Structure formats: structure tokens, C-alpha cells
């Protein structure tokens, strides 16, 4: 198992993409996904519509960015009850979820 940091980037496409629904998901991320053991960096936010170059992905609504100190911390997060509660309480509004995990 690697001791490199793991960047866990998650991009949510919502069925209901209203301003309120986007904010609700951001608030849920802040409630459930912050403060986990081994977190080096955390941020979440709405896609900026002004980022509209040809290379910019316009298909998602919320981006979550978490960097963990190592793969063990990432793996612990994945099965943590707060992470599982986040999924259970929010997945009904997810049209798609794209996850990119990389060593950094």
C-alpha cells in the first residue's frame, strides 16, 4: 500500500440542479465529509458557469475535493459511517457521480 497522498475528486451531476439543490449538496458535504482522520485538504463548491472553454467539462454541478495523507486514510473514509450516511441521504438526487482518485 502506498504512503503517497491520495486526491479524491468527486463530481456530482444532479437530477434537480436548482440553486437550492446545489447548495443542499454542498451543505451535506460540509456536514458529513469534513474532519475525517487523515484529511490533508477539503473543499467543495458549485461549478462556475463562467469556466466555459472548450476543454471545460460542463456536465456536473458540484465538485468535491479531498486529499488524504495516504491510501489507508482514504480507505477508512470510504467505509466511515458519516460517509455512508452522506451517500444514503443524498444519492436520490444524483444523476451521475464521477470519481477520480489519484496519488499525488
- The ranges assigned to domains in the chain are 6-103
Please report the pLDDT score of residue 2 as a whole number: 73
Model pTM score: 0.95
Q: How far apart are the C-alpha atoms of 31 and 8, rounded to whole Å? A: 17
Q: Which of 63, 58, 20 is nearest to 45 (CA)?
A: 63
**What are the distances in angstroms from CA 76 to CA 1, 50, 85, 102?**
13, 36, 14, 16
pLDDT-derived band of residue 60, with 50, 70 and 90 as boundaries?
very high
Residue 89: pLDDT over 90: yes
Residue with cell 436520490: 92
Question: Which numeric CATH code is attached to 6-103?
Answer: 3.30.70.100
Q: How far apart are the C-alpha atoms of 82 and 98, rounded to whole Å? A: 20
Amino acid at each position: 500500500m502506498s504512503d503517497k497522498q491520495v486526491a479524491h475528486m468527486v463530481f456530482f451531476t444532479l437530477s434537480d440542479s436548482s440553486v437550492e439543490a446545489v447548495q443542499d449538496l454542498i451543505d451535506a458535504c460540509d456536514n458529513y465529509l469534513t474532519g475525517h482522520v487523515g484529511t490533508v485538504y477539503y473543499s467543495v463548491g458549485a461549478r462556475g458557469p463562467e469556466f466555459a472553454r472548450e476543454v471545460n467539462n460542463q456536465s456536473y454541478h458540484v465538485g468535491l475535493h479531498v486529499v488524504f495523507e495516504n491510501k489507508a486514510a482514504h480507505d477508512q473514509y470510504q467505509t466511515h459511517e458519516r460517509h455512508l450516511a452522506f451517500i444514503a441521504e443524498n444519492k436520490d438526487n444524483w444523476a451521475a457521480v464521477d470519481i477520480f482518485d489519484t496519488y499525488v
